[in-house]
Amino acid sequence: MAYITAEQVKEKRQQIRKEFPSKDGFKFSVRKEHSSSLHIDILESPYDLARVREDGTKAESGSINHYYIKDHFEGHPAFDFLNRINEIAHEGHWDKSDTMTDYFHCAYYINIGYGRWDIPYKQTGSIQVEAQEVEQEEEVTYTELFDNLIG
């Protein structure tokens, strides 16, 4: 059964604050929820973590999937920072889950995010991601695709 103690959370909070001090523009909320989950919310940092919505505005809070930090943040200025937060969260963690049989058995659940529902994320520095041009692939209809397959 997933379980994390207040002492474990306190140790992780101290380690995060030691490695990323407030004098460098960092602020975190590290807490447990229902004794089974570790929540690490990045409230302030020098990195541009907020996602841009469809209407062009930035989200004030959101989640960061710790399973896909490498896939989603590689090349981003915050990659090493988020990777280190994830490493700290996983210290002492084990996972014997088997999703194929719907069996979940781990030390505790981990949630990493930026901002909170009641506290918007604040960027304290000017480290931003440069816009990258994405090549547009031409659209192909199913008929054209099928014609190309059969020759």
pLDDT in tens, 79-123: 999 999 999 999 999 999 998 998 989 999 999 999 999 999 999
Closest CA to 46 of 126, 130, 129, 131: 126
User: Where does the pLDDT of residue 50 fall: very low under 50, low under 70, confident under 90, or very high at 90 and above?
Assistant: confident
Please, are residues 61 and 113 in contact by the beta-carbon 8 Å criterion?
Answer: yes
What global pTM score does this model have? 0.80
For residue 63, being part of any structural domain is answered with: yes
pLDDT confidence of residue 51: 85
**What pLDDT does 31 receive?**
97
Q: Which domain holds residue 117?
A: 6-131
| Long-range contacts, stretch 98-103, CB < 8 angstroms, 24+ apart | none
Give the pLDDT confidence score for residue 1 in this predicted structure: 84
User: Does residue 94 lie in a domain region?
Assistant: yes
Ramachandran angles phi, psi of 3, nearest 5°: -155, 130
Task: Report the number of distinct structural domains present in the chain.
Answer: 1
89 in the Ramachandran plot: left (φ > 0), alpha (ψ -120 to 50) or beta?
alpha
| pLDDT, average across residues 135-143 | 60
Q: Which residues contact 12 (CB under 8 A, 6 or more apart)?
A: 30, 38, 40, 88, 89, 91
Cβ-contact 13, 30 below 8 angstroms = yes
Instruction: Look up residue 14 and give its two tokens.
Output: 């101290």
Q: Is residue 151 part of a domain?
A: no
What's the pLDDT band for 56 if we cut at 50, 70, 90?
confident
Domain presence at residue 100 = yes
Evaluate whether residue 99 is within a structural domain.
yes
Helix (H) or strand (E) holding 69, with range, is helix 69-73
Does any domain span residue 29? yes
